[in-house]
A and B are shown apart, each in its own frame.
Chain A
Amino acid sequence: MTGALQRFLPLVVTTAVLVVGFLICAAQFPNFASWRVVANLLTDNAFLGITAVGMTFVILSGGIDLSVGAVIGFTTVLLAVLIEQGGWHPVPAFAVALIAAGGFGAAMGGVIHVFQMPPFIVTLAGMFIARGLGFVLTTDSVPINHPLYGELNDMALRFDFGLKLTLPALLMLGVVVAAVVLAHWTRFGANLYALGGNRQSAELMGVPVARTTVAVYGLSGLLAGLAGIVFSLYTGAGYSLAATGVELDTITAVVIGGTQLTGGYGYVVGTFVGVLIQGLIQTYITFDGSLSSWWTKIAIGVLLFVFILLQKGLLVVWAGRGGEPAEA
């Protein structure tokens, strides 16, 4: 099955980069190969992973969502204001935040579809709006002291062999699993890939283009809202400047994960691995101590470049073998 290998090549390469990277780290730092490091990697990058799943869907459908970081920031502020200033219980606050974030995304999807505007610029406007709304609520960093936050933060799944999965980590893993199911075992998933492959063909084959476009941006907004909840748990505060630049980190994770930015090709699992690679680079630099933080950005930039070239090369190779004969 060389065909299958070729199809999963980007995924294989990404995973190999993660494994080799982890082995290098483990060889260099004696304490690295521990369940604690793995657990931290998952917890620290949970909000990024959840957001990146939504971004993967948007990019698979041929779009892009620049508003996710701003939506995370807005969500944390909304939660802080509702809980601390409004005296709400966190659970209804969570519900309101998720509805607001999902509705915001869906509205952007609607604008993109109805007015035939480039997603890049519509979600850029969405980014301004979400950040602005966050600022309007409050510009301060508001700590959230509700007892439920403490309880949620203490919640963890402990395994006998030493792995401790916190609530954020569990949420992320749950989202990834659900996303894989959504992408490959539902009609919505197939429609997403179809839309990203060729919009016109998809329409001719009966894909509900409008509904799918609105749904995918709504889903991205919803997941950004969930990431906002996780972020507020993680930081214990709401701040309108929170998670700036997360849209870039997630796009980078999606590309490193082997998804094509032009849409139609890619895997949610790849994105998850891409998030972990970014986290691993950061962890490496933290462990090293002498290396400076900017190497993270440079390393990620280099990875981004290499993976884009790899995709480009694969596309050229695939296009070049158009004459494959029908197998008898």
Chain B
Amino acid sequence: MTASTAPPSAPLLAIRGLSKAFLGVQALDGVDFTLRHGEIHALLGENGAGKSTLIKTLTGVYQRDGGTVALEGREIAPRGVEEAQRLHIGTVYQEVNLLPNLSVAENLFLGRQPMRWGLVDRGAMRRRARAVLQPYGLSVDVTAPLGRFSVATQQIIAIARAVDMSAKVLILDEPTASLDAQEVAVLFKVMRTLRSRGIGIVFVTHFLDQVYEVCDSITVLRNGRLVGERRTADLPRLDLVAMMLGRELEAAAHRIDLGPAELDSRPPLASFKGFGKARSVEPFDLDIRPGEVVALAGLLGSGRTETVRLVFGMDRADKGEATVDGRPARLRGPRDAVRLGFGFCPEDRKKEGIVGELSVRENIILALQARQGWLKPIPRRRQEEIADRFIRLLDIRTPDAERPIQLLSGGNQQKALLARWLATEPRLLILDEPTRGIDVGAHAEIIRLIERLCADGMALLVVSSELEEIVAYSRRVVVLRDRRHVAELRGGEVSVERIVAAIASETPNPIASETPNIEVRQ
């Protein structure tokens, strides 16, 4: 498809030297970004790269500290979402920011309903809603509540709203994260249609296949800095992954002693067969043996977190079975997992991990106490012993064990959460991004701890974006892509290069190549 409008000389959107800091942390540091008319431009980067800060600065949620943003050559500085919308910048988020309780038509026209005699002209609104959706091939009942439709349909409606409010720049922030392959295909068809109308699309995604399927250009950010801009056609996957992860691929990592080879013949502690959940992660097989670290590697959104949440029962699997110690195990909730001797430090510490206002001591003993039941309280003296022991053992920096845990730094909160599970003497410890957002010192300590626990015979299942880290301590690495377990590396095979290669490997997507059954009209 080629652009139907001749591209004007000035680019649609030109960002130069954009900077933004939060409380002294430089989230964006002199970033350039150029979007042309009729272009789909992927904005890529791992966590903390600065993608969302860039988008929020564009849409007026944040005000930039420095740099320039020019729309068709004209300097702009939106101070709010509405103003950005007026400046023809529309945004559609992964969590569709529309209202599920309002009808499709009301969502499309909220705040700008057609009026007649001082009242909303509902008939005209319905007609115009149908007309607005028609080019997208959506002939839905526009009077039905939005929440009744699939996320994919909602997303297209959100795009239609943004475009109808005369968007020239359309920002799609991870729109495909909760869509299935067929829905993605429909969305791409819509995106291509918009591109042919001269609209510039900024596309944020974690799925590399999708980048190569639909995008013209790629801009990669890392740690708030621009890594580079490339034409998609000129950038091999391996180079893209290297740009995103920022690795010197030849770097040989230090590896720990992986233990005797007969470890593989030991009976697994926990074994999962065909375990999976629709729209979360494809069914997978996974064995975890005592005394080994199994790492889950993959880009953000590849299904790593979803996998460990199923293993701990935080989400309930709808397929497959789990066996622990050779016996079928029920995993209907975290309580079942705790009873089986599992422990889980979640990725979102604040929301799912710590109990903020409780003290460090109470947070540390919580899981142990929950397993013992409320009738057998751990005596205060013993609680203090446990807390003090782990504060010393893990070097948790807190003036005392009675400090509310929310006052601690992220790394110390993480160590306290580790202590919570270590106090229960778990047999399988699951860590989701254990070193995310914590300082360098704590980082190294947590890695040493992982190695020590493994040596003591504990089984660990670790999710991490830090590949050197994974290579350093893992006996086996399961690589995920697009919510699927795509490769397993063991022993000597484990290396950063092999992991990156597996992440970047191209496998045809069986469903996306099918012709979607939606007619996209012009």
Contact = CB atoms under 8 A, between A and B. Distances in A.
B40 interface: no
Given A185-B122, A206-B82, A326 B110 contact: no
Contacts of B120: 184-187, 189-190
A325 B122 contact: no
Interface string B170-200: 0000000000000100100000000000000
A90 B168 CA distance: 60
A201 B147 contact: no
Interface stretch (A104-112, A238-246, A276-284, A316-324): A316-324
| Interface size band for B | 35 or more
A95 B86 CA distance: 42
A257 interface: no
B372 interface: no
A252 to B, nearest CB: 22
A328 B99 contact: no
A181 B82 CA distance: 27
B111 A193 contact: no
B65 interface: no
Interface in A290-328: 318, 321-328
B102 A184 contact: no
Nearest to A196: B101
A7 B144 contact: yes
B110 A328 contact: no
Given A184-B122, A207-B111, A318 B81 contact: no
B139 A181 contact: no
Interface string A173-207: 00000000100111101110110111011101111
Interface stretch (B150-158, B302-310, B496-504): B150-158
Interface string A203-216: 01111000000000
Interface in B89-146: 97-102, 106, 110-111, 113, 119-120, 122, 137-141, 143-145
A324 B150 contact: yes
A24 B110 CA distance: 44
A186 B119 contact: yes
Contacts of A197: 99-102
A324 B145 CA distance: 13
A202 to B, nearest CB: 7
Contacts of B152: 326
Contacts of B113: 187, 190
B110 A325 contact: no
Nearest to B93: A204
Nearest to A181: B119
Contacts of A194: 99, 102, 110
A326 B140 contact: yes
Given A204-B81, A326-B153, A327-B139, A187 B111 contact: yes
Contacts of B147: 318
B438 interface: no
A99 B145 CA distance: 37
B144 A3 contact: yes
A264 interface: yes
A321 B151 CA distance: 11
B91 to A, nearest CB: 9
Contacts of A201: 97-99
A206 B81 contact: yes
Contacts of A181: 119
A205 B93 CA distance: 13
Contact of B97 (A1, A191, A204): A204
A208 B99 CA distance: 15
Interface in A1-48: 1, 3-4, 7
Contact of B119 (A185, A207, A321): A185
B285 interface: no
B186 A205 contact: no
Contacts of B144: 3-4, 7
Contacts of A4: 143-144
B9 interface: no
Contacts of B101: 193, 196-197, 264-265
Contacts of A205: 97-99, 110-111
B106 A328 contact: no
A193 B99 contact: yes
B162 to A, nearest CB: 11
A184 B183 CA distance: 33
B97 A324 contact: no
Contacts of A327: 138-140
24 contacts: A1-B141, A184-B120, A185-B122, A190-B113, A193-B101, A193-B102, A194-B110, A196-B101, A197-B102, A198-B99, A200-B97, A205-B98, A205-B99, A206-B81, A206-B82, A207-B111, A318-B147, A318-B148, A322-B150, A326-B138, A326-B150, A326-B183, A326-B186, A328-B517
* 8 closest residue pairs by CB, A with B: A264-B101, A197-B99, A197-B101, A185-B119, A206-B111, A326-B153, A201-B97, A185-B120
Given A197-B99, A326-B518, 10 more contacts: A185-B120, A186-B119, A186-B120, A187-B113, A190-B106, A205-B111, A207-B111, A264-B99, A326-B186, A328-B137
